[in-house]
Amino acid sequence: MKFTLNRSSLKQAVTGLGKIVIPKSTLPILAGVRFTTGKDSVRLDGTDLDQHATYHAQPVEMEGAGSFVVPLTVLKDLTKGKDGELVGFEAEGESVTLINPTGSNVVRYPVAGLDPEEWPGNIPTVETKPADGFLETYRRLIPFSSDDQTRYVLNGVFVDVAGTGKRPVTMVACDGRRLTACNSMVLPIAKGTIVPSRKFLAWSGLDGEASIGVRAFSDVAWFGLQIGPWTYSTRTVDGTFPNWRQVVPHEPGENRVVFTDEDALAMKKIVPGFPGHDSHDEGICLQQGTNGVLAISGRGPGDKADTVLELTGGSQFTGKEPTAVNRVYLMDALNAGFREFTYADSLSPLRAEDGSGGVHVLMPLRLSRESAKAPAANTQPKKVATSTPVADAGKNTEEKHMPNEKDKVQPEPSALDKLTAAYELAKTKVREAQAALADVAGAIKDAAREDRQRRAEVESVRAGLAKLQQIKV
């Protein structure tokens, strides 16, 4: 079996599969990419058992049919070069030869392939339907999802189908300190689903019209995506997403902060080095400046006074109470397109809307007890120190969190609840046992392969000795 591919096509496939394939997996087969030739295409597959991706490449030339597996790392060398060049593959059993043109020369080098029979089976296929706007919204929400493994149900984007109207689907992400919901979707999903945070789905290399779907497979719900030459599936997050509507303030507060696009862009340069960036909570205060201009202030751990800066791009502050927030979270909200924030007081969550169905909730930092004061009237729109503390970003601050179910008094679990918990624990243990058995099976296969190689070497030596014995001196 042999075929050639355009280098640019291989480069796209290797880049995408690199978001999934585990180079140093305990199961060697998971560090590889499987090539399978079909009638008029070549499939490149990668998996980590929890997610699978297939790239459908159009070969320039192809002869024979079959499959082989090679480590992803050896393919990266083939991606270096001009996009218009052709790279080749020749395979016979587990022996694979890569053909790489370099200038006027063509380099052929053999690589050790992996046994395609070890490739994981039962990879689910998910029927998909067009889903306009899904990927764009998913990528917008990913920064607001949690990466804390102890908050498993927050490690992804929740597709909530419980809405009403012409666009009933809301996509939500939350990490306990901020929440973002986008309600402008019509998606082909009938049941609420938590799509996990995946590097592959966040990859900007996925381009085109996306189709999605969800399918139950062996008691596990799988999410599927088809876009351009890619087909992808992943396990969904198994759990119940919190009732996010309870934490969204329904009424706008009396205090209002409005950023202009110009100032939002300027904040990207100002905020990273602004005083307080090296404090434990990275706090920054939003307050009223001269004539209602929006001002920001911060204080480093060793500073005795706040540094105050008025924004000059037209941003406004309306109200009496300043508020303090985590500057990284504030920049994430601005980068996501949110410009107008309202809140009731300095201890209340900030609510923002983008005018297109998007809602963002940001929990504040706790201000010091001293009243915040605006900068003096002659304050220039530069960095100016004041003697009155506004918000101590390094001391006496405490970040508020979203309401947590653990804070509520929980009733005594029923027998059914206990049984369900025991079942979930048992299921987890079974999964761990299956993973351990897979490791053992992989080790046995490796040992068997080494034994075959050793026997082949012994037979080769014996054959050599037999020929030497036949030589007459």
For 44-74, the pLDDT digits (tens) are 999 999 999 999 999 889 998 899 999 999 9
**Closest to 140 measured CA to CA, from 315, 364, 342, 357:** 357
The pLDDT-based confidence of 448 (bands split at 50, 70, 90) is confident
pLDDT of residue 336: 93
Is there a contact between 347 and 364 (Cβ–Cβ < 8 Å)?
yes
Phi, psi of 255 (to 5 degrees): -95, 130
Q: Would you give the DSSP letter of residue 320?
A: S
Kindly tell me if the per-residue pLDDT of 459 is higher than 90: no
First-to-last C-alpha distance (Å) of the chain: 45
The pLDDT-based confidence of 395 (bands split at 50, 70, 90) is very low
The pLDDT-based confidence of 375 (bands split at 50, 70, 90) is very low
Residues with Cβ < 8 Å from 288, sequence gap 6 or more? 294, 295, 317, 318, 319, 322, 374
What is the token pair recorded at 316?
């406004």
Average pLDDT over residues 184-188: 82
Phi, psi of 256 (to 5 degrees): -135, 130
- Out of 239-248, 350-359, 366-375, 380-389, pick the least confident: 380-389
Is there a contact between 177 and 399 (Cβ–Cβ < 8 Å)?
yes
- Burial call 25-44: b when 16+ CB within 10 Å, e when fewer: eebbbbbbbbbbbeeeebbb
pLDDT of residue 469: 66
Is there a contact between 222 and 235 (Cβ–Cβ < 8 Å)?
yes
Q: What's the order of all strands across the beta sheet hosting 316-318?
A: 193-196, 156-160, 169-174, 178-185, 358-362, 350-353, 340-343, 255-258, 316-318
pLDDT of residue 381: 45
Is there a contact between 267 and 310 (Cβ–Cβ < 8 Å)?
no
The pLDDT-based confidence of 366 (bands split at 50, 70, 90) is confident
pLDDT of residue 152: 92
The single residue listed with the structure tokens 């004061």 is: 373
Average pLDDT over residues 388-393: 37
Average pLDDT over residues 152-167: 90
Q: Where are the domains of the chain?
A: 2-118, 130-246, 249-406
| CA torsion angle 369 370 375 376 (round to 10) | 160
Task: Name the architecture of domain 249-406.
Answer: Roll (3.10)
Average pLDDT of the chain, as a whole number: 84
Q: What is the CATH number of domain 2-118?
A: 3.10.150.10
Is there a contact between 330 and 283 (Cβ–Cβ < 8 Å)?
no
What is the secondary structure of 175-210 as a DSSP string? -SSEEEEEEEE--S--S-EEEEP-HHHH-TT--S-E
Q: How far apart are CA 125 and CA 135, in angstroms?
A: 19
Q: By three-state DSSP, how is residue 202 classified?
A: helix
The pLDDT-based confidence of 411 (bands split at 50, 70, 90) is low
Residues with Cβ < 8 Å from 197, sequence gap 6 or more? 142, 145, 147, 155, 156, 157
The pLDDT-based confidence of 468 (bands split at 50, 70, 90) is low
- Out of 112-116, 214-218, 405-409, pick the least confident: 405-409
Radius of gyration from C-alpha coordinates of the chain: 29
**Closest to 336 measured CA to CA, from 132, 144, 146, 199:** 144
Q: How far apart are CA 324 and CA 336, in angstroms?
A: 20
Q: In this structure, which topology does domain 130-246 adopt according to CATH? A: DNA Polymerase III; Chain A, domain 2 (3.10.150)
Q: By three-state DSSP, how is residue 50 classified?
A: coil
Is there a contact between 274 and 327 (Cβ–Cβ < 8 Å)?
yes
Higher pLDDT, 359 or 39: 359
The single residue listed with the structure tokens 């305990």 is: 26
The pLDDT-based confidence of 417 (bands split at 50, 70, 90) is low
Higher pLDDT, 457 or 296: 296
Q: Would you give the DSSP letter of residue 419?
A: H
Average pLDDT over residues 262-282: 93
| 130-246 and 249-406, same CATH topology | yes
For 84-111, the pLDDT digits (tens) are 889 999 998 778 999 998 877 888 989 9
The single residue listed with the structure tokens 């082909």 is: 188
pLDDT of residue 123: 83
Q: How far apart are CA 411 and CA 56, in angstroms?
A: 53
Give Cα 381 distance to the centre of its chain.
39
pLDDT of residue 124: 84
Average pLDDT over residues 262-270: 96
**Closest to 172 measured CA to CA, from 184, 76, 164:** 184
Angle between helices 261-270 and 327-335 (to 10 degrees): 140
pLDDT of residue 388: 35
Is there a contact between 200 and 51 (Cβ–Cβ < 8 Å)?
yes
pLDDT of residue 104: 78
pLDDT of residue 29: 93
What is the token pair recorded at 447?
């040992």
**Closest to 362 measured CA to CA, from 344, 350, 378:** 350
Q: How far apart are CA 41 and CA 13, in angstroms?
A: 14
Query: How far, CA to CA in Å, does 59 sit from each of 5, 38, 89?
Result: 5, 10, 11
What is the secondary structure of 121-167 as a DSSP string? --------EE-TTHHHHHHHHGGGS---TTSGGGSEEEEE----SSS
